[in-house]
Structure formats: C-alpha cells, structure tokens
Chains A and B, each alone.
Chain A
Amino acid sequence: MHGVGQILQQNRAGVLDAWLAKLRDTAPGAQPGSLQLLKLELGTLVEKLTAYFLLDDGDGAGPAFKAVEEQAATISAACVRDGLTPMETATLILSLKTIAGEMLDRETSAKATELYRMRTALDAVVDRLALITFAAFVETREEIIKRQGRALLDLATPALPIWRNIILMPLVGIIDTQRARQVMEWLLEALSREEARIAILDVTGVPLIDSRVALHLTKTVEAARLLGSQVIVTGISPDAAQTLVKLDVDLSNMITRGTLRAGLAEAFRLLGPHAKGAHETML
C-alpha cells in the first residue's frame, strides 16, 4: 500500500490548506487567535500522519501511529479549549478523509484496485483518529465532572462550634452512602476536637429521609454516644415525620426537635444551668 505516504508528503501543503478551509466552515464562531494555534496542531498531525504512512503501511500499530494518536488527543484538547463541540471536532477530523481521499484520486496514476486499497487504509486511520479525539473529549469532560463532584462534597458539611460544648452540623442536599460516612467522620472528629458534649444535626436541607438515611443518622448518633456526646436531630419536616411513622423507622433512641431553635433550647437544657452562663464561658 505504499503510495499514500509519498502522495501525502508531496501534497502536504495542499491538504493542510483544504483542511484549514474546512476548519473555518466547521467552527465559524471560534476566535481567530485560537484557530491559529489549532492550525499549528493540525499541521503537526498531517506531518505525523505522513511519517506514519511513509514508515509503516497502515495497520495502526507501532510507535509512528502512537505519535499520530497522541497528536490527535492534543487536537481534541485544543478543540475543547477553543469551544468546539465534540460533533464539530469529529467532523473536522473526519473531513480529512474526503480531503486526502480526493487528493489520492487526483495524484495517483495507480489502478482502481490499488487506489481502493490506499483509500481504505486512509479511511481506517482517520476513523480511528476520530474515535480517539472523541474518547479524549469525553475523558476531559469526565474529569471536569469528577472535579465538580469533589468540590461539592468538600463544601457540603461544615461542623460549627456554635457554643461552648455545642457543635452544629447543618446537612444540605442528598445524603448518599459516601456523604453519610463523611458526615459521621467529620462530626465525630469535631466532637472530640472541640470536646463538645452536644451535636446538633440539622436536616432542614435534606430533601428526603428514607430508611437508608435514617439508618445513617442512627449510626451517627450511636457513634457519638460512644464518645460521650449526645446528638440532637433537628429540622425534620412535618411531611417527613408522617412518612417516617408510616415507614416505621425506629428513631426513639434519638433526640429530635422540630426546629433548630428548639434543638438549641434542648441542648442548653441538657447541659444544665451553667451552660448559658456568663459571656466568658460562651466559647
């Protein structure tokens, strides 16, 4: 299948020009400045592709193809940076098929069967490149989503020492297993760090308490008890209360109060007459 490499080498400038024209059609909204960078990357890809076809005849293995693959991934990243959609990126890569294919038609004097084999080899490589750019695109986005997830988890559960001996932990959002584990960990850590006797767990911001969440709450209360601290759960909505009764979740070993205010009052009651005391004992 020799021939593809030579023809590409002789017509590199032409291929690149046609491709860049295609790029302008594909991404009319992109910044001219960033397109300049993308042009360089595309140029490098054509170069690497030429090297690959010159060296090795197209079964997609070996270090030469590896270099092509890496360049394709770089282009994908560049496309993400320049705000091209995956669709546009894939279209751009796939357009190489038409461009280089037409050039093969024009430049070769080979027989039809030979031409067919050259085009097939070219098509296979370009298809592979399109898949690689797409995979790289997805990977980039997965990474973004993962980062966002971690960021959300981090800001989710602060433990606030609101009074001497009292820690408040407002829970907001969905309590899944991972969050529940983290809530317990952080609450226990805060309890022992602050030497607090009471933890108020406010669930006003938790949309729904099912048996799974109830189980996590129970476990947290038990663990806190082992540290010698008591947990007051506040903010269970009237809707949630009725549902929990029907579910028949046993929360009897847990101190619960409707509102955070009532919970705080209960905390003071539990701490006894000296809790509220003079200002200097507040913190």
Chain B
Amino acid sequence: MSRSPGFPDPAVLGPAIPGPDVVGPDVVVLRVTSEIDAAEVRQEARRLALRHGFSTVRAHGLATAVSELAMNLVLHTTRGGLIRLTAQDTPDASVIELVAEDDGPGIPDLALAMEDGFSTRGGLGCGLPGTRRLVDSFTITTRVGEGTRIVCQVRRP
C-alpha cells in the first residue's frame, strides 16, 4: 500500500480537491465565492451542455453566461451565491435552466443595470445585458438589501 505523504486516502475523506456538488446526472449546484469557483462552474456548464447535445457554440455561450453571472456573485456580494444548472431532456429537445441567486446587496436600478455599458465596478458593463443575449429566456428579480435571483434558459430544438 503506497500513499503519497500529505494526501489522505480518497476513499476515507472524499475527493482531495472539493469538486462541484453533483446532485444527479442532470443537476449541478455550486456555491460561488471566488474566481476559482466561477471558473469551475462554467466548465461544468459547458460539459453539461455538450452532454445534452448542444452545439459547441451554444455550450460556449452558456458557459460564458454562467461565467458572467458567477463573476457578478464574486464581485458584488460579500458571501457569494449559488449557481444551479438543471438539464432536462425530451425526446427531440433539451432545456438547460441556469439559476443564480444570492442574498447580496440587490440592484437598486435594475433598468440601468440591464443597459449596455453601465458598470458599478469598472467592468465593461455588458455582463447582464450580454448574458440576456446569450440565453433564450432571462428573468431577474432583485430586492435591495435582500438579494438577486436570475433564472435563464437555453433550449435546443
């Protein structure tokens, strides 16, 4: 029995590197608090899309949307937030739902935040409007001081 020192037996303690919490074959949930989490969740998103028959462009688009929302969680909330991806297949179609929610500061002026070129943190200001263009449906609910919840869907005929 040989083990590298410092790395415990994975069978005892679970994976050495904490991976995303894969709830079922079609659901990926990850708490996003740092840039590394954002990178991880968008990789998972791309894999999920490819697994469900989306084209590479669509998978790339979804991954980018996830990345934008995840980076919003990192940049604008202190405690991060949750990203949940759910894929649902029907015989000739597939839908992936992307939910990003947090209990952060909320968005005071939603209309302004959805405008191109507006940014509070020196970004390019295309995160939210860009995300909306990358997905097929986009709903955002936000309350100042309570948090923000964004639900998106991408579909494949």
Chain A: residues with CB nearer than 8 A to chain B?
28-29, 80-83, 85-87, 140-141, 144, 174, 176-177, 207-212, 214-215, 218, 237-240, 242-243, 246-250
Give Cα distance in the complex from A225 to B37, angstroms: 33
Interface members, chain B 90-137 (any A CB < 8 Å): 116, 123-124, 126-127, 129-131, 133-134
**Which residue of the partner chain, among B9, B39, B126, contacts A211 with CB atoms under 8 Å?**
B126
Consensus secondary structure, chain B interface: helix
Give Cα distance in the complex from A80 to B12, angstroms: 15
| Contact flag A208-B123 (CB < 8 Å), given A29-B1, A80-B6, A247-B133 | no
Contacts of A82 in B (CB 8 A): 5
Q: Decide if B42 is an interface residue (CB 8 Å cutoff).
A: yes
Categorize the interface residue count of chain B. Answer: 35 or more
Quote the shortest CB–CB distance from A252 to chain B (angstroms): 13
Contacts of B43 in A (CB 8 A): 207
B130, closest chain A residue (CB): A247
Give Cα distance in the complex from A208 to B46, angstroms: 10
Contacts of A210 in B (CB 8 A): 42, 64, 67-68, 71
Quote the shortest CB–CB distance from B48 to chain A (angstroms): 14
Give the total number of A-B pairs whose CB atoms are below 8 A apart: 97
Across the interface, do A242 and B61 meet the contact criterion of CB distance under 8 Å? yes
| Contact flag A214-B61 (CB < 8 Å), given A82-B5, A246-B130, A248-B116 | no
Across the interface, do B5 and A80 meet the contact criterion of CB distance under 8 Å? yes
**Which residue of the partner chain, among B35, B59, B131, contacts A177 with CB atoms under 8 Å?**
B35
Contacts of B6 in A (CB 8 A): 80, 140-141, 144
Across the interface, do B39 and A174 meet the contact criterion of CB distance under 8 Å? yes
Contacts of B12 in A (CB 8 A): 85, 87
The 7 closest A-B pairs by CB, nearest first: A29-B1, A247-B130, A85-B8, A239-B60, A176-B35, A210-B67, A83-B3
